[in-house]
Chains A and B, each alone.
Chain A
Amino acid sequence: MSEKKFIPKSKFGQWFDSRLPLLTLSHHLSDYPTPKNLNYWWTFGGILTFCLIVQIVTGLVLAMHYVAHVDHAFESVEHIMRDVNYGWLIRYVHANGSSMFFLAVYIHIFRALFYGSYKSPREIIWIIGMLIYILMMATAFMGYVLPWGQMSFWAATVITNLFSAIPLIGESVVTWLWGGYAVDNPTLTRFYSLHYLMPFLIFGLVVLHIWALHIPGNNNPVGIDIKKPSKDTVPFSPYIVVKDLYALIIFLIIFAGIVFFVPNILSHPDNYIKANPMVTPTHIVPEWYLLPFYAILRAVPSKLGGVVVMFASLFILMFLPWLDTSKIRSAVFRPLYKIFFWILVIDVIILGYIGANPPEGLYLLVGRIATIYYFVHFILIMPILGFKEKTIPLPISISDPVLSNQARTISNR
């Protein structure tokens, strides 16, 4: 970083900072030069950090009252809803918090896709981000199992059974995961243990994610490298802090709207029926944020194939920085990529819709086409587009849009 070396004012500060540079760190964080043209899509990083903290804090309180036992889990959740002071609030915030967390993370990911934030020199930030996303899904899935309703139980059964597709050792792996021959108490207790652990792993990765971000600094809507600090940047505090705060409050209004007025709209009514291994629900569906992957899983006729393709659909994202061959970051200057970006967004939404419906007839066909397109986008379109696309000339700096207009007219001649 091209910042001036920071020296604490007080003697004690200097003494302390030379031993543990916390003051230097906090100075770096508040002074961190940020592109001044960041739009509201960039506020979701802060929102996500907030979501993680909310989940950890509310989860901590829930863990004080929750009982991880097949005979008591369902009742203990209702005990929280009824007998714990403001327990209903804490539980609804935690349950809907996961949905809001995923909403924010999807916006965050698609923002990175649109503005090419995963490209050099930010590949590591992107990969850590993907690891966070995968851990989030695992955590959310395990959390969904804990209330021990019908959907909890059957989601756990379906998802853990995926591992039985592994050749030769599949069955043993599943038995090992369950801690028995069916989803039962040992499964519930280990899911609880892991559900408590994983948020802290996510937290650790978030620290790395931000650390890695602070080496090259933020990408920006124009997608060009900028000098830092310069007239193109503003210090993180107070400019970005206040903007993030404003966006966070708007986000909270939506969050509160769901928690206080439609707290069960995103969950399935069947999860208020206590888990019963003898009764299978008509449709077993995961939470909305996992639906696109559920659709991909079911699009493939073989079980092993479905599992492989589903995991591939996640891991392919890790290679995105190298699959995308274009040197231009921002889609603003890539007219063709811009179109394909929106097609991908629609494709993922279609996959989500398919995931919520039974895999038959037209749903299955559309699901298969959407799955194929998903892979075509990353494996064919992204690499080819980098070579073929005619891009719009980039401005020289964020502060000089006039110059960029001149550049554009020159190139047009």
Chain B
Amino acid sequence: MLKKIKNIIKILFVYSFIMIFANNSIAAESLDLLKNKWSFEGLFGTFDRGSLRRGYQVYNEVCSSCHSIELLSYRNLSENGGPEFSLEDAKNIAASFEIIDGPNSDGEMFARPGRLSDKFIKPYPNVQAAKAANGGAYPPDMSVLVKARQGGANYIYSILLGYEEPPEDFKLEDGVYYNKYMPGHNIKMPNILSDGLLDYADGTEATTQQMAKDIAAFLTWASEPSLEARHKIGFKIILYLIILAGLVYLSMKKLWSRIESK
């Protein structure tokens, strides 16, 4: 038994070593981000539906004028593990956008209301147009943004709340803003959020912090729509494996006792 415990400790040692190592190698230059307590963290983490729905509202009314989320479809809004709008609501949301489709049998492009199967519409037709409209900076597509930034949701949250007056000796160019959490402190996105910027459909008070939290949660879901399913299945699988390990361990002891008693 003691040997077994020793073995487990050895394995855990190797395991934790890798984790620390992996963390270290990536976190080489991370800034001290603001840390929020997210509902989707941890072994049983799930999304807060209300927060995701509010987050969608923030995206739709604020962010979407510059940022695309090319990889989301309107159908995703009603799927399990997301904002879980009713199918009817998702249809209405889709229909509120105008999609350019075609060509039709006359060879013409035409506009039609959006359907569930459509991808989220983009604010600009291409990267060049986006740059031209934003002083040369490309507002990144937000489909996997949370996974593409060190710090994930905390990064988004921090950037949105990190606008400050620059220190006196800090030189800012025109059209560039000072942000405490941006690497280099230069950001081309202006400080968009302000208290009461929008009226939340569910009546929550739209403080800057609330909106930053909701949009960060929404973007986390957009980056990782399978997060909830992953946590649920993972828990079951690990539980199953632990029980199996116990049974196999006992069979092993039984079998080997024939050898060891010789």
Residues of A at the B interface (CB closer than 8 Å) are 36, 40, 75, 78, 81-82, 88-89, 92, 99, 103, 107, 231, 234, 238-239, 242-243, 245-246, 249-250, 252-254, 256-257, 259-266, 268-270, 272-273, 282-283, 285, 288, 291, 352-353, 356-357
**Which of B14, B22, B245 has a CB less than 8 Å from the CB of A253?**
B245
| Stretch among B49-57, B195-203, B248-256 lining the A interface | B248-256
Q: At the interface, yes or no: B150 with Cβ under 8 Å from chain A? A: yes
Q: Which 10 A-B pairs have the closest CB atoms?
A: A260-B234, A356-B25, A272-B148, A88-B226, A272-B147, A249-B245, A272-B144, A242-B252, A246-B248, A253-B241
In the complex the two chains form, is B238's CB within 8 Å of A260's CB? yes
Q: At the interface, yes or no: B23 with Cβ under 8 Å from chain A? A: yes
Q: In the assembled complex, which residues on chain A have CB atoms less than 8 Å from the CB atom of B231?
A: 260-261
Residues of B at the A interface (CB closer than 8 Å) are 7-8, 11, 14-15, 18-19, 21-26, 28-29, 43, 71, 76, 140, 143-144, 147-150, 223, 225-226, 229-231, 233-235, 237-238, 241-242, 244-245, 248-249, 251-252, 255-256, 259, 262
Min CB distance B128 to A, Å, is: 13
In the complex the two chains form, is B147's CB within 8 Å of A264's CB? yes
In the complex the two chains form, is B150's CB within 8 Å of A269's CB? yes
Q: In the assembled complex, which residues on chain A have CB atoms less than 8 Å from the CB atom of B251?
A: 242
Inter-chain contact count A-B, CB under 8 Å? 112
Most buried by B among A245, A261, A265, A357: A261
Min CB distance A44 to B, Å, is: 11
Min CB distance B147 to A, Å, is: 4
Min CB distance A140 to B, Å, is: 15
In the complex the two chains form, is A288's CB within 8 Å of B22's CB? yes
CA distance A253 to B245 in the complex (A): 9
Min CB distance B137 to A, Å, is: 13
Given known A-B contacts A75-B71, A78-B71, A88 and B230 have beta carbons under 8 A apart: yes
Given known A-B contacts A107-B14, A270-B148, A260 and B237 have beta carbons under 8 A apart: yes
Min CB distance A84 to B, Å, is: 11
Most buried by B among A75, A256, A283: A256
Min CB distance A94 to B, Å, is: 15
**Which of B25, B144, B148, B244 has a CB less than 8 Å from the CB of A288?**
B25
Q: In the assembled complex, which residues on chain B have CB atoms less than 8 Å from the CB atom of A288?
A: 18, 21-22, 25
Q: In the assembled complex, which residues on chain B have CB atoms less than 8 Å from the CB atom of A356?
A: 21, 24-25, 28
In the complex the two chains form, is B234's CB within 8 Å of A78's CB? no
Q: In the assembled complex, which residues on chain A have CB atoms less than 8 Å from the CB atom of B7?
A: 40
Q: Which residue of B lies closest to A283 (CB)?
A: B28
In the complex the two chains form, is B245's CB within 8 Å of A250's CB? yes
CA distance A29 to B256 in the complex (A): 19
In the complex the two chains form, is B148's CB within 8 Å of A261's CB? no
Q: In the assembled complex, which residues on chain A have CB atoms less than 8 Å from the CB atom of B22?
A: 265-266, 288
In the complex the two chains form, is B259's CB within 8 Å of A234's CB? yes
In the complex the two chains form, is B28's CB within 8 Å of A352's CB? no
Q: In the assembled complex, which residues on chain B have CB atoms less than 8 Å from the CB atom of A273?
A: 140, 148
Q: Which residue of A lies closest to B45 (CB)?
A: A261
